[in-house]
Chain A
Amino acid sequence: MELTFWIALATMGGLGFVFAGALAIADKKLRVEENPLIGQVNDLLPGANCGGCGCAGCYDFSVQLVEGKKPVNGCPVGGEDTAKAIAELLGLEAGASVKIVPRILCKGGNKEAVKKMTNYYGPLSCKTMHIVAGGDKLCTYGCLGGGDCVEACPFNAMIMGENGLPIVIEEICTGCGICVKACPRDIIEMHPIDREVFVFCKNHDDPKTSKAVCDVACVGCGICARKSDGGIEMVDFLGVINYDKLDPEKIPFEKCSTGAITRISKN
């Protein structure tokens, strides 16, 4: 009886020592030195793993940041505060970081966009509507109103407005840009929050067709482009803004018959 006890104890204890030894050696021999900064930077990040910075999650961003591949203010979600904290930790300059927000470049809500004579019947998702004839509205470029962007927003910063157009709540928005990818018609664009002039339309139809499909479409008259001194270029009946050259004072906003080009004020 006693002998069995000692044998068992010796076997188990012996095994324990062998494995412990193996682990001790492995710890010394196979050790990977990780820059402690990576962990510290990671702690400062919001931890949303949204991918807005272009990396596969927050940890990946911290690795790339410490390696110098990403700027200190590269996290759009954390914004200025995070950038400052990281800069302090790394002893760098934070640089100015302007918040970027998505802009919905379509004004054709349920009231303004002309409807088809038929009703769409099928899954109520922009993606599925887009691959068939595109929902109830006639415009083949505009917002479908299915709310794929609202659903995709990981921060609940978007809501569907009464008019069937999504609204961005800028205070909550972190600028991660996931909504941009969710939109099958590419009408959402990321812009610095202090940018004021936008063409709220993506319709490339000729004037007659675009007038027929929407009350607020860019009809392609080109008045804004002619007065803009190169700030606006007409591409297939649509004004496209070149923000480097744009001078908002030169644009005759009141001349735009449909209000497609608008200056938004912050208050």
Chain B
Amino acid sequence: MSLFSFAKKTFRGGVHPFEHKEMTENLAFEIMPDPPTVIVPLSQHIGKQATPIVKKGSVVSLGSVVAEPQGFVSIPIHSPVSGKVMNIHREPNTSGYPKDAIIIQTDTTIEGSEKFEPLNYETISGEAIRERVRIAGLVGQGGAAFPTFIKLSPPDGKKIDYVILNGCECEPYLTRDYRLMLEKSEDVVVGLNLIMKAVGVENGIIGIEDNKPEAIEKLKGVATRFKNIKVEVLETKYPQGAEKMLIRACVGREVPPGKLPMDAGVIVQNIGTATAIYDAVVKGEPQLYAALTVTGKGINSPKNLMVKVGTPLQEVLDYCGGVKEEAVKVIVGGPMMGIAQFDFSAPVMKATSGIVVLTKEEVNEHPETPCLKCGKCIEACPINLVPTKLSRYSQLERYEDAEDLNITSCMECGTCTFTCPANIPLVQWIRLGKQKVIELQKEKKTA
């Protein structure tokens, strides 16, 4: 440690893709007007999908609950607009497969909106924060969309001593978190304070990559007003924003394979989650908006937007001046881990962080060639796996061998595929193998 103390804090491995954040980093958030219809998926989170409590023809007001949670790992869903329920039906989804959704036609003549009672963040108890976060239907904004209230309730016996706020935004192109840190720096820090209170932790860290000096400056300024919150400057590298990498860089702890950050005494939350918690507690607003970046060389006017949850992608793209002629690929999420879309009627969801429209020059479309055994992917893998072997085992259906090499630890960051000179779709194969191994493990458990 002492020998390298001059070096910036980071982790082993990783890559540094072109950032391309210049297109939107200086644009302030715009609030997009309500679309004529919203498609609100019942499953916007990991866990069981919510059960609708409205019927076809019901009239709903802004912010009213339209679906109740089902089971523990589930959250309520609120109507993002005032209007009439047109249908409850399987609709296209950004995940690729259609999912049940409530379709609501916006009607501005319907008055009234439902909100929670605003609470004072200085006097509120941890219990009250957790309950508010649960009924406001918050999900993690980092991408996996895990219900936030569960992450704020660590099981008894787990000693947590750090909350880390993830301000890395290591995905290229996206600037949502950056803009949130600049425009809502107050909310971010108070949000972090609320998380710390809810979990009962003394130390808070905001980890930011060194390519965002303005955000670092601003948050450092705000953080001085709170004790025990510090801003940590990290090296700009993908995937710096992955939980385990962030923990390694900020507090120097290693999360064991197959364990959660909680097992290393840390809870990681996203910048977007912190502001959403602020909105839910201090302003009393359920999560109706998704903050996202619409960017890429294929879109006419890139923007940072506040979009109502359930807005079809097409509406968002149209609002940004439409897609250019030469655009070839539309990705929801970041370009590294996002999902390419084929149907623009799919809606924006709570955890949608960006829409990236890429042109041919930005997309790497080279044919796959045989593995060179160069080992670049092994060098780059941030969690020390062997992508070459894992993908090969998965291809050959040798799932037991893949399990022995810890395939389930893979977080699918795609660093290996990005770095592969032979253009082998490594992460795609590993993803398949991972799913199969998890299936087999479950089978073994039940048998």
Contact = CB atoms under 8 A, between A and B. Distances in A.
Interface in A124-147: 125, 127-128, 131-134, 140
A140 B432 contact: no
Contact of A132 (B339, B365, B429): B339
A120 to B, nearest CB: 9
A215 interface: no
B342 A209 contact: no
Contact of B343 (A116, A123, A128): A116
Contacts of A22: none
A117 interface: yes
Contacts of A128: 425, 428-429, 431-432
A134 B89 CA distance: 20
Contacts of A140: 97-98
Contact of A121 (B97, B365, B431): B365
A118 interface: yes
B96 interface: yes
B90 interface: yes
A136 to B, nearest CB: 9
Contact of A133 (B89, B97, B429, B431): B97
A131 B394 CA distance: 13
A205 interface: yes
Interface string A88-126: 000000000000000000000000000011100111010
Contacts of B90: 205-206, 209
A132 B343 contact: no
Interface string B404-434: 0000000000000000000001001101100
B435 interface: yes
Contact of A131 (B329, B343, B431): B431
Most interface-central of A125, A133, A206 (chain B CB within 10 A):
A133
Interface string B330-341: 000000000111
Contacts of A123: 395, 425, 428-429
A131 B432 contact: yes
A145 B220 CA distance: 55
Nearest to B329: A118
B369 to A, nearest CB: 14
A166 to B, nearest CB: 18
A116 B329 CA distance: 13
Contacts of B96: 132-134
Contacts of B425: 122-123, 128
A121 B363 CA distance: 11
Contact of B342 (A127, A131, A133, A205): A133
A122 B97 CA distance: 17
Nearest to B426: A123
Nearest to A140: B97
A29 B395 CA distance: 48
A128 B431 CA distance: 8
A142 to B, nearest CB: 13
Given A121-B365, A128-B428, A133-B96, A116 B342 contact: yes
Most interface-central of B96, B342, B395, B428 (chain A CB within 10 A):
B342
Contacts of B97: 133-134, 140
B429 to A, nearest CB: 6
Contacts of A206: 89-90
Contacts of A133: 96-97, 339-340, 342
A29 B343 CA distance: 73
A163 to B, nearest CB: 22
A156 B96 CA distance: 33
Nearest to B434: A131
Interface string A36-59: 000000000000000000000000
A172 B343 CA distance: 42
A134 B340 CA distance: 12
Contacts of A117: 342-343
A111 B395 CA distance: 29
A185 to B, nearest CB: 12
A209 B91 CA distance: 10
Interface string A194-205: 000000000001
A122 B365 contact: no
B428 A122 contact: yes
A123 B89 CA distance: 31
Nearest to A152: B397
A116 B343 CA distance: 8
B340 A118 contact: yes
A121 B428 CA distance: 11
B374 to A, nearest CB: 20
B342 A118 contact: yes
Nearest to B96: A133
Given A121-B365, A133-B96, A133-B97, A127 B432 contact: yes
B298 to A, nearest CB: 13
Nearest to B391: A123
A107 B428 CA distance: 28
A56 to B, nearest CB: 15
Contacts of A125: 395
A131 B340 contact: no
Contacts of B365: 121
Interface of B: 89-90, 96-98, 329, 339-343, 365, 395, 425, 428-429, 431-432, 435
20 contacts: A116-B342, A117-B343, A122-B425, A123-B425, A123-B429, A125-B395, A127-B432, A128-B431, A132-B96, A132-B339, A132-B428, A133-B96, A133-B97, A133-B339, A133-B340, A134-B96, A140-B97, A140-B98, A205-B90, A206-B90
**Interchain residue pairs A-B with the least CB separation, the first 3:** A133-B96, A118-B342, A116-B342
Interface of A: 116-118, 121-123, 125, 127-128, 131-134, 140, 205-206, 209
Given A128-B425, A133-B96, A133-B340, 8 more contacts: A116-B342, A116-B343, A117-B343, A118-B341, A123-B428, A128-B429, A128-B432, A131-B435
